[in-house]
Amino acid sequence: MALNFSHRPIFPSGLSEDNLVLPMRMGNGYRVEGLPEKSGGSGSGSGDGFGNGWRDVDNCSVSKDILDLLPSDPFGMDISTTFTAITGWLEDLDLDFDYGGYRRDEIGASGENYPLFAGLNFIWNNAVRFHNFPSQGGSVCIDEKISQGVSGFGECSRREVGEPSCSYGSGSSCDMDGVLGFRCGYKDVAVASVSGDTNMDDVNCSEEDERSPHPAIALSLAYLSLSDLLVVERVCKYLRNVVRDDTLLWKTVHVDQPLNERITDDILFELTRRAQGKLLCLSLVECTWITDDGLRRILEANPTIIKLSVPGCTRLSIEGIVGMLKNHNSKEGTQGVKHLHIGGLYGVTQKHFEEIKLLLEHSKKSDLLGTDSQLQEHAKKSDLLGTDGQPKKHSHKPHFYCRWKLYRPFDDDRSLDIEVCPRCQNLRLIYDCPAESCQRLVGNATQACRACTLCIPRCSQCGRCINDSEYEETFCLELLCSFCSQPLVKLLGRTDGKAGLVSSVLPEQS
């Protein structure tokens, strides 16, 4: 277990949105998103290696050269303030531009930010032309129609960001219920981008080779996991801006392997900030660096959270979670958390359990999502609500034990994942049994093969109970039933059994 609990925050949580100029500090080796970067090539020799562009601009005498006045990264997190600044100095340059050609009514699901995004794309392209980029053959201009259409989806509903699968520990493709609303938004905007015309055609793009991103990538962003999104962010400027600026991509944040081992409070906060206060679902699977304070900060900044899943986040305390839940659900204007996954957390008592159940039930009965139609749509598509806007009631799917799927899947509809174990009465994750003989006993509560793993040991591969049967204990101290251990025994037999396999055979009871 890591001993270093201290994570010096890179910046205070209550950062003023008007403050574009922020001290460039290192914290945990990570930069804070949204900090302006220096343009050009100088300033890279400082101790932290990040350059001191803004400090130079602030502290030194102001250069009259336009290159020094223009910021290299106008698209910091602070979109509105940045836009004002950009339009301000572009107007000073007597630049004649007109992006009034964008028609909002062409965009199905856009909001008031669409013209801003469209204008930003236009202004960015113009600003880029003033920089003397070293010739590298890269594209400078973005296909205006595509940028116009895709930038507008900032107001459309979103997808789920996460690892390939929303099931815990799984590496398969994403089970993106949260995407559906986003997909609707994508279609509306993309159709508009195909049909709408623009005054951007008047822009004289750079003479350099212009290659716009293939439109298919914009349509697929919704289905990418968190790590893939971060890869796409590095592909080109256009995609970087899209990934950072589209709040809908960040309404659901799912962190799983391998990022869960690296993500810290500050990094997570920065990622969730991209939702601009409209984060809906947060799923952190075995994110062992996340602390109570970090999670609390996110909840405070996002009153719209309705699903919180933190299984295996061992630095979180159950008292902290209960306190956060009370605080969050009692605030006015918050929908309240309706689904909580805390499997793998230690020290959950009956009292905690009762309190949590009460809080979740209470929040479900409260007015759901208000009049925010986009959130309602998103939650419905995320399978959290029925078509009538009420919490959906599903029949619970059996949950089988597996080393890769220890926790309930993200799309599980239960309000709380842990239960009282029928055998030991402790509050833990309960597993069903896939064995045929045990399936017949499902209806019988006393005899059903359904308990925590301490009461009923299970095979790590298939989830079968191994109480009374032959099993193998692997070098990793996992248990394998006789069906699953056969291939392993054969393999080890070929290598003269050097893997240190310990076999235990229990006499079969009649």
Distance CA 82, CA 442 (A): 60
**Which of 25-33, 149-157, 310-318, 340-348 is the region at the interface with another protein (rule: CB under 8 A)?**
25-33
Question: Does residue 66 interact with another protein by CB under 8 A?
Answer: no
Distance CA 247, CA 279 (A): 9
Distance CA 384, CA 133 (A): 49
∠ at Cα 331 (254, 247), nearest 5°? 35
Among 127, 224, 345, 484, binds another protein (CB under 8 A): 224
* The one-letter amino acid at 453: T
Beta bridge partners of 465: 458
Question: Does residue 222 interact with another protein by CB under 8 A?
Answer: yes
* The one-letter amino acid at 504: S
Among 215, 320, 323, 457, binds another protein (CB under 8 A): 215
Work out whether the CA dihedral 377, 379, 383, 385 comes out positive or negative.
Answer: negative
Question: Does residue 101 interact with another protein by CB under 8 A?
Answer: no
Strand 160-161 and strand 427-428: the pairing is unpaired
Distance CA 240, CA 75 (A): 10
The secondary element (H helix, E strand) that includes residue 341 is strand 339-341
252 to 311, contacts with another protein by CB under 8 A? 258-259, 262-264, 267
Distance CA 385, CA 376 (A): 8
135 to 154, contacts with another protein by CB under 8 A? 136-140
Question: Does residue 219 interact with another protein by CB under 8 A?
Answer: yes
**What is the number of H-type helices and E-type strands within the chain?**
16, 10
* Number of residues lying near another protein (CB under 8 A): 68
Closest separation in Å from C-beta 116 to another protein:
22
Choice between 183 and 338, CB closer to another protein: 183
Choice between 168 and 471, CB closer to another protein: 168
Distance CA 408, CA 350 (A): 20
Distance CA 326, CA 355 (A): 9
User: Which of 305, 298, 355 has its CA nearest to residue 333?
Assistant: 305
Choice between 91 and 210, CB closer to another protein: 210
Question: Does residue 235 interact with another protein by CB under 8 A?
Answer: yes
Question: Does residue 225 interact with another protein by CB under 8 A?
Answer: yes
Q: Using an 8 Å Cβ cutoff, are 450 and 430 in contact? A: yes
Question: Does residue 72 interact with another protein by CB under 8 A?
Answer: yes
Among 115, 181, 213, 463, binds another protein (CB under 8 A): 213
Closest separation in Å from C-beta 303 to another protein:
27
Question: Does residue 233 interact with another protein by CB under 8 A?
Answer: yes
Q: What are phi and psi of 348, to 5 degrees?
A: -80, 120
332 to 351, contacts with another protein by CB under 8 A? none
Closest separation in Å from C-beta 443 to another protein:
29
DSSP 11: S
Distance CA 255, CA 226 (A): 7
**Which of 183-191, 357-365, 371-379, 466-474 is the region at the interface with another protein (rule: CB under 8 A)?**
183-191
Among 63, 91, 95, 133, binds another protein (CB under 8 A): 133
Question: Does residue 443 interact with another protein by CB under 8 A?
Answer: no
Closest separation in Å from C-beta 156 to another protein:
14
Closest separation in Å from C-beta 357 to another protein:
35
Query: Please, which residues have CB within 8 angstroms of residue 427's CB and are 6 or more apart in sequence?
Result: 348, 349, 350, 352, 353, 418, 419, 420, 421
Choice between 235 and 358, CB closer to another protein: 235
> Which residues sit at the interface with another protein, rule CB under 8 A?
29-31, 33, 37-41, 44, 49-51, 72-73, 131, 133-134, 136-140, 164, 173-174, 176, 179-180, 183-184, 187, 190-191, 194, 209, 211, 213-217, 219-220, 222-228, 230-240, 258-259, 262-264, 267
